[in-house]
Structure 1
Amino acid sequence: MENGSLFFNFNLTMFVNIGSYRYPAFVFCLLLFAMIVSANLVIILVISKQRTLHEPMYFFIVCLSINSLYGSAGFFPRFLMDLLSNTHLITHSACYTQIYVIYTYASFELTILSIMAYDRYIAVCHPLHYHSKMTSKTVCKLAAFAWICPSFSVATCLYLTIRLPLCGNKIVKVFCAIWNIAKLSCVSTVINNIVGLLVATTTVFLPLAYVLYTYLRILLVCRKSSAEFKGKVLQTCLPHTVSFVNYCITAFCDIALSRINVEKLNPFVAILLSLEFVVIPPILNPLVYGLKLPEIRRHIVRMLPWSKTTI
Structure 2
Amino acid sequence: MTNSSQVLYFTLTAYFDIGSLKYLYFMMVMCFYVLIIGSNVLLIVVICVNRSLHEPMFLFLCSLFVNELFGSLGLFPFLLVQILSDVHSVSAPLCFLQIFCVYSYAAVEVLNLAVMSYDRYVAICFPLQYNSTMTDRKVALLIALTWALPVLATVVLVSLSAPLRLCGNVIDKVFCGNFSIVKLSCSNTSVNNVYGLVLTVVSIVAPLVLILYTYGKILEILQSRFDLSRVPPLLAIVLSLYFLTCQPLFNPALYGLKMAAIRDACKRLLCGENSAPAAASHA
Q: Aligned to 1:167, what secondary structure does the other structure show? A: coil
> Could you tell me whether the CA contact under 8 Å between 1:39 and 1:286 is conserved in 2?
no
Structure 2 CA distance for aligned equivalents of residues 304 and 150 of structure 1: 35
Match of 1:292 among 258, 265, 272: 258
Structure 1 CA distance for aligned equivalents of residues 100 and 247 of structure 2: 23
Once the 2 structures are TM-superposed, how far is the Cα of residue 163 of structure 1 from its aligned partner? 1.8
Could you list the per-position Cα deviations for residues 200-237 of structure 1 after superposition, in whole angstroms to 9, with x for gaps in the alignment? 1111111111111111111122322379xxxxxxxxxx
Aligned counterpart, 2:221: 221
- In structure 2, the gaps of 5 or more residues are 228-241, 279-283
Once the 2 structures are TM-superposed, how far is the Cα of residue 305 of structure 1 from its aligned partner? 3.7
> Could you tell me whether the CA contact under 8 Å between 1:166 and 1:185 is conserved in 2?
yes
> Could you tell me whether the CA contact under 8 Å between 1:14 and 1:174 is conserved in 2?
yes
> Could you tell me whether the CA contact under 8 Å between 2:3 and 2:163 is conserved in 1?
no
The one-letter amino acid paired with 2:68 is: S
The one-letter amino acid paired with 2:25 is: A
- In structure 1, the gaps of 5 or more residues are 228-237, 247-284
Structure 1 CA distance for aligned equivalents of residues 121 and 128 of structure 2: 12
Alignment of 1:53-202 (within 5 A): 53-202=53-202
Structure 2 CA distance for aligned equivalents of residues 171 and 153 of structure 1: 23
The one-letter amino acid paired with 2:7 is: F
Q: Aligned to 2:87, what secondary structure does the other structure show? A: coil
TM-score for both structures, normalised by structure 2 = 0.85
Q: How many matched pairs?
A: 262
Are 2:26 and 1:26 equivalent residues in the alignment? yes
Could you list the per-position Cα deviations for residues 32-85 of structure 1 after superposition, in whole angstroms to 9, with x for gaps in the alignment? 111110000111111112222111000010001000011111111121111111
- CA gap of 1:162–1:175, structure 2 versus 1, over 3 A, is same
Structure 2 CA distance for aligned equivalents of residues 46 and 32 of structure 1: 21
Once the 2 structures are TM-superposed, how far is the Cα of residue 10 of structure 1 from its aligned partner? 0.5
> Could you tell me whether the CA contact under 8 Å between 1:239 and 1:289 is conserved in 2?
no
Are 2:210 and 1:244 equivalent residues in the alignment? no
Q: Aligned to 1:90, what secondary structure does the other structure show? A: strand
Once the 2 structures are TM-superposed, how far is the Cα of residue 115 of structure 1 from its aligned partner? 0.5
> Could you tell me whether the CA contact under 8 Å between 1:43 and 1:286 is conserved in 2?
no
> Could you tell me whether the CA contact under 8 Å between 1:290 and 1:300 is conserved in 2?
no
Once the 2 structures are TM-superposed, how far is the Cα of residue 184 of structure 1 from its aligned partner? 0.7
Once the 2 structures are TM-superposed, how far is the Cα of residue 154 of structure 1 from its aligned partner? 1.1
- CA gap of 1:286–1:110, structure 2 versus 1, over 3 A, is closer
Structure 1 CA distance for aligned equivalents of residues 254 and 137 of structure 2: 28
- Higher share in helix: 1
The one-letter amino acid paired with 1:104 is: S
Once the 2 structures are TM-superposed, how far is the Cα of residue 288 of structure 1 from its aligned partner? 4.7
Structure 2 CA distance for aligned equivalents of residues 159 and 54 of structure 1: 37
Q: Aligned to 2:256, what secondary structure does the other structure show? A: helix
Q: Aligned to 2:83, what secondary structure does the other structure show? A: helix
Root mean square deviation of aligned Cα: 2.6
Q: Aligned to 1:220, what secondary structure does the other structure show? A: helix
Structure 2 CA distance for aligned equivalents of residues 24 and 243 of structure 1: 34
Once the 2 structures are TM-superposed, how far is the Cα of residue 188 of structure 1 from its aligned partner? 2.9
Structure 2 CA distance for aligned equivalents of residues 176 and 120 of structure 1: 35
Residue identity (%): 38
Once the 2 structures are TM-superposed, how far is the Cα of residue 301 of structure 1 from its aligned partner? 3.2
Structure 2 CA distance for aligned equivalents of residues 207 and 223 of structure 1: 24
The one-letter amino acid paired with 1:299 is: A
The one-letter amino acid paired with 2:109 is: E
Structure 1 CA distance for aligned equivalents of residues 244 and 258 of structure 2: 10
Greater Rg by CA: 2
